A = this chain, B = another copy of it.
């Protein structure tokens, strides 16, 4: 058995994801196909990039990760496949693979041009079905990556919003809001200005919001907190509730961590 992960903005109401799986299983019947998310907001390349980067290292070696968040489908944008020490990454060359690839040891990146691998006629609106699914299934079966097309040196990389550090504080932003209303920031726990967790205070909109806690129920129900989240980043949360809703948080909003005076 071999694993193929799918990340798209297709939603699950229509037949698009299921059709990709039908195409994959026709080529590689032994695929374990895993849905990473199909609820990436339409065309939101950064959300797709973050979902993949936050999860791909938990998959088996040799997994083929397919991401189709592809507003430029049918245009001149390239399609690419990358081989790393851990597996394969397949998708449009619009940056959606780039945050995951930034953490990988890349062995090769190839443009996907071999039309013999595609479904025909190739539509101009659904390369997930006609190009990415058959290419991923073939890679999963052992097709050498050289067969998908010529190697390329450069591919589109999204900027990572780097937090700004000073002596006693770090300024970051909200990257992603999850289903629980937890707001995941770009502030890496390892980057925090003091090793003593009790020294940290989190500020939102120039006002102190909360302290850092070890887990969600460490504060009373309805109270805000920050935790070191499962993706390795600082998260704002509300115990038994939704931080996003309580504080009307949005992606891109500024979050500041300061060392308390006295530390």
Instruction: Report Cα–Cα, A235/B18, bound state, in Å.
Output: 20
Instruction: Report Cα–Cα, A149/B113, bound state, in Å.
Output: 49
Interface segment, one of A5-13, A162-170, A198-206, A249-257? A5-13
1/0 per residue, CB under 8 A from B, across A1-41: the answer is: 11101010011111111110111011001111111111100
- Whether A71 contacts B26 in the complex (CB less than 8 A), given A15-B54, A36-B18, comes out as no
Instruction: Report Cα–Cα, A12/B36, bound state, in Å.
Output: 8
Instruction: Determine how close the nearest CB of chain B comes to the CB of A228; give it in whole angstroms.
Output: 7
CB of A196 within 8 Å of the partner chain = no
A39 contacts across to B, CB distance below 8 A: 12-13
CB of A222 within 8 Å of the partner chain = no
- Size category, A interface: 35 or more
Contact call A179/B75, Cβ cutoff below 8 A: no
A31 contacts across to B, CB distance below 8 A: 32
A61 contacts across to B, CB distance below 8 A: 26
Instruction: Report Cα–Cα, A82/B19, bound state, in Å.
Output: 21
With beta carbons under 8 angstroms apart, the residue of B5, B59, B63, B125 that contacts A227 is: B125
Residue pairs across A and B with Cβ atoms less than 8 A apart, 25 shown, are A1-B29, A11-B179, A12-B38, A12-B39, A13-B39, A15-B51, A15-B52, A15-B55, A18-B35, A19-B36, A19-B54, A19-B58, A21-B34, A25-B59, A25-B60, A26-B58, A29-B60, A58-B119, A58-B129, A74-B217, A74-B218, A75-B217, A75-B218, A124-B227, A125-B229
Give the 3 A-B CB pairs with smallest separation, nearest first. A74-B215, A11-B179, A126-B230
- Other A-B contacts than A16-B178, A123-B228, 14 sampled, CB-CB below 8 A, are A1-B25, A3-B29, A5-B22, A10-B179, A29-B60, A42-B180, A58-B129, A72-B216, A74-B216, A75-B217, A75-B218, A124-B227, A125-B215, A130-B230
- CB within 8 Å of B: which residues of A? 1-3, 5, 7, 10-19, 21-23, 25-26, 29-39, 42-43, 51-52, 54-56, 58-61, 63, 71-75, 119, 123-126, 129-130, 178-180, 214-218, 227-230, 235, 240
